[in-house]
Amino acid sequence: MITTRFLWMTTGCACLISLSVSVLPATADTYWQCIPATPGDWFHSGNWDSGVPTSSDDAYIGNNGTAQIAISGAECGDLYLGYTAG
């Protein structure tokens, strides 16, 4: 016979597992695409192929690109400099 305590324990475990999976951040990659000879603003979404990076995004600046950060608030998960595709 299933007891009320058993039901609460299994329901609680299922909820905990569900919550722990849902709070994992999704990461995305975004690549700098500004013209290499021209420095560009970190916060301009057009300089990135997937928009300005957030704390959960990995940012790649390659091809001798220069990202200028003139104000505070720039963030990314991981920053890769000098990245070469391939």
Please give the Cα distance from 67 to 85 (Å, whole number): 18
Q: Where are the domains of the chain?
A: 25-83
- Note down pLDDT in tens along the chain; length 86 residues: 555 554 344 444 444 334 344 455 567 999 999 888 788 999 999 999 999 999 999 999 987 888 999 999 999 999 999 877 65
- Ordered DSSP codes for the chain: ---HHHHHHHHHHHHHHHHHHHTSPP-EEEEB-S-TTS-EETT-GGGBTT-S--TTEEEEEETT--EE--SS----S-EEEEE---
pLDDT score for 64: 81
Give me the pLDDT at residue 62, please.
87
pLDDT of residue 76: 97
